[in-house]
Structure 1
Amino acid sequence: MLTRLKKLHWPLAALLLPALSAVAQAPEAAPAKAAEPNAQILLFWFLLATLGLVLMVFLLLFVLIVVKMKPQLRKLYELPTVHESWSGKVIGLLIGDTRLVTGEHKDELMGHDYDGITEYDNDLPPWWKYGFYFTIVFAVAYMGYYHVANAGQLQAAEYETEMQQATLLVSADADDPNKLTTYTALLSPADLSEGKTIYTTNCAPCHGANAEGKVGPNLTDEYWLHGGEINHVYKTIKFGVTGKGMVAWKGKLAGKQILQVASYIQSLQGSKPANAKEPQGEKEAPGKPVAAK
């Protein structure tokens, strides 16, 4: 028998070798495509809804059982050995006795009498005491977790983390309203002339022909609502101010045109036009930018 097995060994090996080689050369199975985020969200809400439905069914069954067994529970509750026990109070709560939650009211005066005001010898309601005990446990756990073990972030650190995460979601290109530009004011007569033309066409109806202020604020004094430094003015013109009537000129004016009109506005500082509108905003020293509000 052993001899026959030895004789069959090489033919079997010859037959299996190509199959094993094919298996070895076969490409690895492509990993399963990760579930789409929307599919994961739908699955999560489906499981949550299913769990809620199951809990509602169990609650309904529990209520039906209590209603059916109410006579038996009442007899059990009336037994002297059960009535005053903690489990007896739980049974009493199921059949309508709220002592477990509200406590017992004793008509026993403590002997205190002040201007006709007397005091009964009643304990605090159990619901209040249980709540107070819970706050003690919570405070100890909170102190240990946040201040002793330093396992969690405090409010300031959590705020900083959220702000860092938020910056990752904001683009860093020129169209980012949260990123201030680093331009310098244009001083050439050609740029200021072009800025004046743009201002007269687009800005004068609200700010006045000489920037003295009409519907919009006066642009010639030292007071600014959103910063008077060239890059703050540029940002205000480009992105506007939502809710205050200042429209965004992004898409209507090119970047250089916005810088030209911003430079022209800065050139009007201290011009003191007639009928200038009263100051608005915060006073800004020349050359010191004010953070936009």
Structure 2
Amino acid sequence: MRAFRYFLGAAGVGLLAARPALGQAAEVVARTQPAGPGTEKLFWFGLSTLGLVLLVFLVLFMALLLNLRLVLRKVYALPTVHDTWSGRALGLLVGDARLVTGEYRDELMGHDYDGITEYDNDLPPWWKYGFYLTIVFALVYVGYYHVARSGQLQLAEYETEMRQAARLVSAGPDDPNRLTTYAALSAPADLSAGKALFVTNCAPCHGANAEGKVGPNLTDDYWLHGGEINQVYKTIKFGVASKGMVAWKSKLAGKQILQLASYIKSLQGTKPANAKEPQGEKEAADSKPVAAQ
């Protein structure tokens, strides 16, 4: 009991001694303004003091265990304590590691085959408890994500993060992530202007009738980067460097790009001679759009 009282007294003195340093360390951590050199030193001093106090407590705790070891052994030997879970936890303090290693260790099972004997070894309790925990976790996971659908799966979480990231990017006219809502132009003047732009700028790669040469065929239902009018507009404006498609945003105005995209959309299903084989993914042919401008 004297050792226990000594431990409590030393703990109280340690807490009183560490209180100012711990308070200063907490105040430093709580500040939001940039820390200066002096503040940083004060923080590390407080952290070192805390570590020293914890070390002192550990040493005193070990000393207390050494003094109370005989008492703990007598308590551990009681039948009402020895085989309980709390008793096994107490056994770790007196040298019995059953809680970690298991009940049975290298015990013969009485089986002998040509001089080969069989031992019985318990699975370590920590392993068994961990296995039970994974079962509980799996049930909670399936219930939360697949039954109740309260959480986002990986794909939905990825899409959410991409949308959040897109908000941080400037949505100016030169931002390739900016969504447009244009409708294809159908006025003869616009389509005629789009045709002139196509012959001048696009025919060398896509053919005079958009049948496809170096570039893909633009008259079928297959598209490499989307066949909706706004996707075609984006492809023309920003290009696809990896496929050799140049960006026309510095050479054509926005109205010209929309006229060009509208003319390309008007060529769908024309089936020109010597058409290049389909490339990309097939998209359902949409109805002829109404002019937006």
Q: TM-score range by the shorter chain?
A: 0.5 to 0.7
Number of the residue aligned with 1:272: 272
Residues 16-95 of structure 1 aligned to structure 2 (within 5 Å):
40=32, 57=51, 61=55, 65=59, 76=69, 81=74, 86-90=89-93, 92=95
Number of the residue aligned with 1:19: none
Partners of 2:164 and 2:126 lie apart in 1 by: 42
Is 1:184 the counterpart of 2:187 in the alignment?
A: no
Change (3 A) 1:101 1:55: farther
The structural deviation recorded for 1:214 is 3.5
The structural deviation recorded for 1:122 is 2.1
Change (3 A) 1:231 1:119: same
Change (3 A) 1:136 1:281: closer
Number of the residue aligned with 1:155: 152
Number of the residue aligned with 1:223: 222
Partners of 1:237 and 1:288 lie apart in 2 by: 21
Partners of 2:204 and 2:69 lie apart in 1 by: 87
Q: Residue 256 of structure 2: SS of its match in structure 1?
A: helix
- Which residue identity does 2:190 align to in structure 1? D
Is 1:169 the counterpart of 2:167 in the alignment?
A: yes
Number of the residue aligned with 2:11: none
Q: Residue 203 of structure 1: SS of its match in structure 2?
A: helix
> CA offsets, 1:55-97, max 9 Å, x none?
993699379949xx69x95x959x96469853342465xxxx9
> CA offsets, 1:195-246, max 9 Å, x none?
2343344434443444333443211222222332333322322243474443
When structure 1 is superposed on structure 2, of 193-202 and 167-176 the one drifting more is 167-176
Partners of 1:283 and 1:143 lie apart in 2 by: 36
- Which residue identity does 2:233 align to in structure 1? Y
Identity of aligned residues (%): 60
Number of the residue aligned with 1:255: 254
Q: Residue 184 of structure 1: SS of its match in structure 2?
A: coil
Number of the residue aligned with 1:286: 285
Partners of 1:121 and 1:56 lie apart in 2 by: 47
Partners of 1:236 and 1:259 lie apart in 2 by: 11
> CA offsets, 1:18-58, max 9 Å, x none?
xxxxxxxxxxxxxxxxxxxxx95968xx8xx97x9569936
Partners of 2:140 and 2:128 lie apart in 1 by: 18
Change (3 A) 1:129 1:265: same
- Which residue identity does 1:120 align to in structure 2? Y
The structural deviation recorded for 1:178 is 5.1
Q: Residue 120 of structure 1: SS of its match in structure 2?
A: strand
The two structures, once aligned, show a CA RMSD in angstroms of 5.3
- Whether the 8 Å contact between 2:207 and 2:213 is mirrored in structure 1 is yes
State TM-score, norm by structure 2. Answer: 0.54
Change (3 A) 1:53 1:115: farther
Partners of 1:116 and 1:241 lie apart in 2 by: 74
- Which residue identity does 1:184 align to in structure 2? A
Q: Residue 272 of structure 2: SS of its match in structure 1?
A: coil
Change (3 A) 1:178 1:55: farther
- Which residue identity does 1:61 align to in structure 2? L
The structural deviation recorded for 1:258 is 0.5
Aligned residues: 236
What runs of 5+ residues in structure 1 fail to find an aligned partner?
A: 1-38
Partners of 1:234 and 1:212 lie apart in 2 by: 19
Partners of 1:273 and 1:55 lie apart in 2 by: 85
What runs of 5+ residues in structure 2 fail to find an aligned partner?
A: 1-30, 289-293
State TM-score, norm by structure 1. Answer: 0.54
Q: Residue 109 of structure 2: SS of its match in structure 1?
A: strand
Partners of 2:114 and 2:141 lie apart in 1 by: 45
Partners of 2:234 and 2:199 lie apart in 1 by: 19
Q: Residue 237 of structure 2: SS of its match in structure 1?
A: helix
